[in-house]
Amino acid sequence: MNSFKINGFDHCELYVSNAKQASHFYRTAFGFQPIAYRGLETNSRDRVSYVLKQNKIRYVITSPLNENSPIGNHINCHGDGVKDVSLTVTNAENAWKETTSKGAVSVKEPTLIEDGYGEAVVATIQTFGETTHTFVERKNYHGAFLPGFEMYDPKELVAEPTGLIHIDHIVGNQPDGQMQAVCDFYEQIFGWHRYWTVDDKDINTEYSALRSIVMANDNEIIKMPINEPADGIKKSQIQEFIDYYKNAGIQHIAMSTKNIIKTVKKLKSNGVEFLPTPKSYYDLLSERIGVIDEEISTLKELGILVDKDESGYMLQIFTKPVQDRPTLFYEIIQRKGSNSFGKGNFKALFKSIEREQELRGNL
């Protein structure tokens, strides 16, 4: 039994080369509202960060202010991407003590931070690659985000929401042969369990394949699929990620919605690009899935995928990479009872990704 409880994903911090422009993209394309800022004006001398929020999802978009900084070096190596996956916990000090006592490497010891809105405690450990987990204890803090950030006037930089609600899961890609060790890390250090698994017999095309194990915490609020490439005739999407990210890292973040059709229409009108789905995917969809609430013709028009399990069905769609390197992308998901991860859609998804890889000359 852990001495701390994880209440959910707190935020994800992205290291990017131009935080001002990236935050503008997340506001205008995905509908995230800027809520807080730190930079030279707040006496942050080495970095600038923009905090964006939509319902329960928070992103911190960070860029370096100095050359040859750790943030800049990270971007030079990996490109824009997710550096930190933060977890809201009941006790950040206990979370840090327990995980480090079991072998996790400390990045930042528990630190009390405070301002006029109260106090919070944060601590950080290393996970896979250069990705970190920050424990955030904010029960005594009543500001917009965390001490050290200045709140935006809510009347400024107003965003138009797109219906995104919360982070459903976050996916980490590993080099071949390292998936098992990372899953063991979450099991031994955090006490998480294996929630769902597929291997290369389940997820493959004539060219490529992958293996995946989904790790979840005790209350299953946190779910993190851990992927690795499997041998195939050509290069898998997981290996392409590793080649361009230069290490293990976060491949995609799945964000939930209560109306995927409405959300995807809005995102497309905002300029978000999605992976195309073969029209033939929908020919036998009704036979495979059965009766669903949505019109198949609408799903076909938008390219939304559908899968089912014994508990219900789910709908999902994937964006193209949101930066020039073929690394980080996003998934939009709506669950209608199903707790699966779209096993029945993987072949169609892989074929779509392979077409994009071929265009990039990376298949």
Q: Please write the tens of the pLDDT for every residue from 95-147.
A: 999 999 999 999 999 999 999 999 999 999 999 999 999 999 999 999 999 99
> Which residues, other chains included, contact 217 with Cβ-Cβ below 8 Å and sequence gap of 6+?
6, 190, 191, 192
Q: Please write the tens of the pLDDT for every residue from 20-44.
A: 999 999 999 999 999 999 999 999 9
**Domains plus CATH for the chain?**
6-151 (3.10.180.10), 164-360 (3.10.180.10)
Provide the percentage of residues in the chain whose pLDDT is more than 70.
91
What is the distance between the alpha carbons of residues 193 and 70, in angstroms, rounded to a whole number? 33
pLDDT band at 203 (very low <50, low <70, confident <90, very high): very low
Q: Please write the tens of the pLDDT for every residue from 252-300.
A: 999 999 999 999 999 999 999 999 888 888 888 888 889 999 999 999 9
pLDDT at 155 over 90: no
pLDDT at 363 over 80: no
Helix extents (H) in the chain: 19-28, 70-78, 92-101, 179-185, 237-245, 260-269, 285-289, 296-302, 346-360
| Residues 162, 255 contacting (CB under 8 angstroms) | no
Read off the pTM: 0.93
Q: Please write the tens of the pLDDT for every residue from 28-87.
A: 999 999 999 999 999 999 999 999 999 999 999 999 999 999 999 999 999 999 999 999
What is the distance between the alpha carbons of residues 336 and 289, in angstroms, rounded to a whole number? 13
pLDDT band at 162 (very low <50, low <70, confident <90, very high): very high
> Which residues, other chains included, contact 246 with Cβ-Cβ below 8 Å and sequence gap of 6+?
77, 78
